[in-house]
């Protein structure tokens, strides 16, 4: 085990996978000398050269489309968008091309590519650089969606993504890059997709959260414990495929479900989880499943305003207490 | 120069494409075929002259008007027509119809239903070829309309910066759906846009096989030498409407008839082959007859093919392996 930051864990896996398989390469804006805004490819160009750590023009459609074309022609690209918000600049290449190529070609294509980027609040990036957009990617069939919340998961999920023969959208959170944690040294360490992780066991209420909100859900669980409520916290880790079974089993035990994400609450992925799990475990429910997320408002710049839009730890606590008839 | 073998290959492909398109038209009017069908009739010289210079290791990305490119790049008429008819035996198992025929084994990275959607994909194919150090090229086929999309600019700039072995073939068929080129496009010759990327651009008569063939040979040679991409604009004309149901309110019957009468690429190439003594009338008649026969067999195959089984509709969203 080595103690690495989330950014270092990502960098290490990219390095190991590029050593292992010469078809793997990185293309994106400022990935070379800068190593990306958050250093996830820092200095890798020194080892692999600028062909394989490839600075691109600021041309998101060409970045995604060329990565797709290269994947069709036998490479295994890791394409990077600087912010997930920029996915709207190249939406056709992601949603109409990358997602659908295999299916529309009658299954006669493998698309081994990873599209990485980061998202979320916390750095004062305002409305077009702070969104949490994973729900949109879950809506279009053909894309796998991974959301690591710890350095170890960033490593294990990214290795799985790079070796997957399908397009994987890899969602990192900008506020997690500096967080530290133990990461297995094993260069074969992989976390399978579609397998949720129970981050904390509990008996009274199940909290499902991803990315930054896994940590916040755990903080909420600590606060709830002080009031005698035992919360179980589950991180789905991948949203496509989604491990509904692990969540359903938990809710059968607790009878209560609270889903929380930084993505907007309106039509956010939590609604899907509430719907799906609600149907699976309806007879076991002791309270209506609850889904909280950012308010339906563009993300503002001012820290106080930003905090007012995204869910607070207190909101998570209050939602859990309400579900447990505590308020 | 086009030798006899290449000339006959091109002539055959042009006839196969023409027969395929006109058969698709007939089947559409007989309600045996539905959906968005964009016919390539009249533009055959471009696909055939370019693909005559490609192997299965060379890559193409095509368009919504893609039947011609796919056939020239090795698609079988029977499987292609079966796909247009939505049959289980089609290239895409009946899931995609006219606009998504692909065959990676033949270097065809796919037709593409989004205007300009395939340009970055061909560029990425060229990137792969370069990184794999293969002696091959990628070709992006697209229309005049796509040259006004952002993907055109982004891709060609990227390919020029990276000196990718990619050739951008613009088929200027005079209309983006119903809008004439003069009303949508800032330049008369789209090839002049190459100057904006510091690469060669050349405009040729797209209904002249020899002109297209020679321009592409130059662009391919440059690409293989590692000197980067080129733009070739082929001025041509589609005989049919934008799609099979197009009322064609934007042009006159006389204009269409004039192109058919005086600039038919197949007729012109036939005359060329005979004048150059590359083929006899009889040889060319035989090629035409063989193409027609192949097309009849394709219709038979497609008509008698089974519908896809809805039980498998969810297959292949992801590769499971």
Q: Min CA distance, A215 vs chain B (Å)?
A: 31
Catalytic amino acids of A? 129
Q: Min CA distance, B248 vs chain A (Å)?
A: 29
Average pLDDT (A213-220) is: 98
Model pLDDT, residue A326 = 76
List pLDDT tens digits, range B125-157: 999 999 999 999 999 999 999 999 999 999 999
Average pLDDT (A45-73) is: 98
> Angle at CA A92, nearest 5°, toward A90 and A94?
75
* Contact status of B91 with chain A (Cβ, < 8 Å): yes
B254 pLDDT above the threshold of 70: yes
List pLDDT tens digits, range B68-85: 999 999 999 999 999 999
- Whether the CB-CB separation of A6 and A153 falls below 8 Å is answered with no
Enter the ipTM.
Answer: 0.97
Q: Min CA distance, B193 vs chain A (Å)?
A: 18
A327 pLDDT above the threshold of 80: no
B245 pLDDT above the threshold of 90: no
What contacts B245, CB < 8 A, 6 or more positions away? Answer: none
Average pLDDT (A166-182) is: 98
B208 pLDDT above the threshold of 60: yes
Q: Does residue B223 sit in helix, strand or coil?
A: helix
Which of B317, B299, B318 has the alpha carbon at shortest distance from B87?
B299
Which of A167, A164, A69 has the alpha carbon at shortest distance from B128?
A69
Cβ contact (<8 Å) for A97 and B121?
yes
- Count of pairs with CB atoms under 8 A, one residue in A, one in B: 148
Residue A302 DSSP code: S
B250 pLDDT above the threshold of 90: yes
- CATH 3.40.50.970 in chain A: give the residue spans: 2-183
Which overall architecture, per CATH, does domain A197-323 show? 3-Layer(aba) Sandwich (3.40)
Measured distance CA(B53)–CA(B6) in Å, rounded: 9
Nearest CA in chain B to A141: B317
- Both tokens assigned to B141: 């086929």
Measured distance CA(B56)–CA(B108) in Å, rounded: 8
Distances (CA, A) of A31 to A41, A65, B151, B182, B227: 6, 18, 22, 41, 25
List pLDDT tens digits, range A230-276: 999 999 999 999 999 999 999 999 999 999 999 999 999 999 999 99
Average pLDDT (A307-321) is: 98
- Whether the CB-CB separation of B59 and B276 falls below 8 Å is answered with no
Which chain A residues have a beta carbon less than 8 Å from that of B126? 69
Band (A55; pLDDT cuts 50, 70, 90)? very high
Model pLDDT, residue B219 = 98
Which chain A residues have a beta carbon less than 8 Å from that of B124? 65-73, 77
Say if domain B4-303 classifies as CATH 2.60.120.10: no
Q: Given the DSSP bridges, would you call strands A2-5 and A180-183 parallel, antiparallel or unpaired?
A: antiparallel
A2-183 CATH fold: Rossmann fold (3.40.50)
């Amino acid at each position: 085990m080595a103690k690495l930051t989330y950014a270092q864990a990502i960098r290490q896996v990219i390095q190991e996978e590029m050593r292992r398989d010469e078809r793997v390469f990185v293309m994106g804006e400022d990935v070379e000398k800068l190593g990306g805004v958050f250093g996830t490819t820092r200095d890798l160009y020194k080892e692999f050269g600028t062909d394989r750590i490839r600075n691109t023009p600021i041309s998101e459609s060409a970045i995604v489309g060329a990565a797709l074309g290269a994947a069709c022609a036998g490479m295994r690209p890791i394409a990077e968008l600087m912010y997930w918000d920029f996915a709207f600049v190249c939406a056709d290449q992601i949603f109409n091309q990358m997602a659908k190529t295999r299916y529309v070609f009658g299954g006669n294509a493998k698309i081994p590519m990873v599209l990485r980027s980061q998202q979320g609040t916390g750095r004062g990036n305002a409305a077009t650089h702070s969104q949490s957009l994973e729900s949109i990617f879950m809506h279009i069939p053909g894309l796998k969606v991974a959301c690591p919340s710890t350095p170890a998961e960033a490593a294990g999920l990214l290795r799985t993504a790079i070796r997957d023969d399908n397009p994987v959208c890899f969602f990192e959170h900008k506020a997690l890059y500096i967080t530290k944690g133990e990461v297995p040294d094993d260069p074969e360490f992989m976390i399978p997709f579609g397998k949720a992780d129970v981050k904390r066991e509990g008996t009274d209420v199940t909290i499902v959260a991803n990315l930054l909100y896994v940590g916040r859900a755990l903080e909420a669980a600590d606060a709830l414990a002080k009031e005698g409520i035992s919360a179980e916290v589950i991180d789905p880790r991948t949203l496509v495929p989604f491990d509904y079974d692990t969540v359903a089993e938990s809710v059968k035990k607790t009878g209560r479900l609270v889903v929380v994400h930084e993505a907007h609450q309106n039509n956010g992925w939590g609604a899907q989880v509430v719907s799906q799990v609600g149907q699976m475990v309806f007879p076991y429910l002791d309270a209506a499943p609850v889904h909280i997320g950012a308010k339906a408002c563009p993300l503002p710049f001012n820290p106080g305003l930003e905090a007012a839009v995204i869910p607070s730890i207190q909101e998570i606590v209050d939602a859990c207490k309400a579900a447990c008839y505590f308020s | 120069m086009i030798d006899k073998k290449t000339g006959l290959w091109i002539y055959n492909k042009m006839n196969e494409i023409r027969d395929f398109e006109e058969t698709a038209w007939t089947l559409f009017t007989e309600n045996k075929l539905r959906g968005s069908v964009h016919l390539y009739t009249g533009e055959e010289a471009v696909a055939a002259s370019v693909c005559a210079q490609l192997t299965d290791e060379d890559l193409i990305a095509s368009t919504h008007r893609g039947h011609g490119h796919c056939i020239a790049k090795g698609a079988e008429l029977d499987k292609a027509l079966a796909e247009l008819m939505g049959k289980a035996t089609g290239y895409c198992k009946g899931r995609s119809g006219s606009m998504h025929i692909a065959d990676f084994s033949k270097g065809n990275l796919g037709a593409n239903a989004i205007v300009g959607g395939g340009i970055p994909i061909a560029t990425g194919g060229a990137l792969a070829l370069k990184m794999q150090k293969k002696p091959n090229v990628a070709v992006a086929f697209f229309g005049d309309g796509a040259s006004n999309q952002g993907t055109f600019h982004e891709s060609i700039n990227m390919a020029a910066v990276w000196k990718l072995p990619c050739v951008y073939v613009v088929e200027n068929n005079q209309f983006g759906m119903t809008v004439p080129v003069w009303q949508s496009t800032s330049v008369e010759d789209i090839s002049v846009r190459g100057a904006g990327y510091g690469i060669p651009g050349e405009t040729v008569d797209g209904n002249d096989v020899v002109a297209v063939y020679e321009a592409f040979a130059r662009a391919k040679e440059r690409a293989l030498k590692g000197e980067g991409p080129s733009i070739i604009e082929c001025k041509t004309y589609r005989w049919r409407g934008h799609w099979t149901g197009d009322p064609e309110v934007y042009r006159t019957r006389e204009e269409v008839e004039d192109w058919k009468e005086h600039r038919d690429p197949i007729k012109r190439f036939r005359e060329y082959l005979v004048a150059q003594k590359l083929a006899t009338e009889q040889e060319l008649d035989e090629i035409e007859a063989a193409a027609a026969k192949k097309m009849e067999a394709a219709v038979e195959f497609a008509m008698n093919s089974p519908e896809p089984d809805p039980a498998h509709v969810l297959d292949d969203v992801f590769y499971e392996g």
